[in-house]
Amino acid sequence: MKIFYEAGAEVGKSGIWDPCTQQYYYVDILKKTMHVLHVPSKSRKDYCVGTMVGAMALCSNGEGLVMAVEDGV
């Protein structure tokens, strides 16, 4: 097996691929962070969410995302 990218997440979840931007979105539930990986360059931006994320989805207009977190949406 070939590893493409080592995410380093404790509990990684909610992987979403956006073909328009070539970005992969995922969260680390225990670290309460969301990550955006630009796949062609393998550059990553990390965002502290401050709460555990259970699920997320891209908005249909392509601008933003919605998250289900431990204390709401």
Q: Rounded to the nearest 5°, which phi and psi values hold at 52?
A: -75, 130
Model confidence at 57: pLDDT above 80: yes
Does some domain include residue 7?
A: no
Does some domain include residue 33?
A: yes
Question: Span 49-56, mean pLDDT?
Answer: 90
Does some domain include residue 30?
A: yes
Domain containing 53: what range?
12-69
Question: Span 14-30, mean pLDDT?
Answer: 89
- Residues 6 or more apart in contact with residue 71 via CB below 8 angstroms: 51
Q: What's the total number of domains in the chain?
A: 1
pLDDT at res. 11: 79
Max Cα distance, the chain (Å)? 38
Does some domain include residue 6?
A: no
Model confidence at 41: pLDDT above 80: yes
Question: Span 2-25, mean pLDDT?
Answer: 83
Share of the chain above pLDDT 70, in %: 100
Which strands, in side-by-side order, build the sheet including 23-28? 12-18, 23-28, 33-38, 43-48
pTM summary value: 0.83
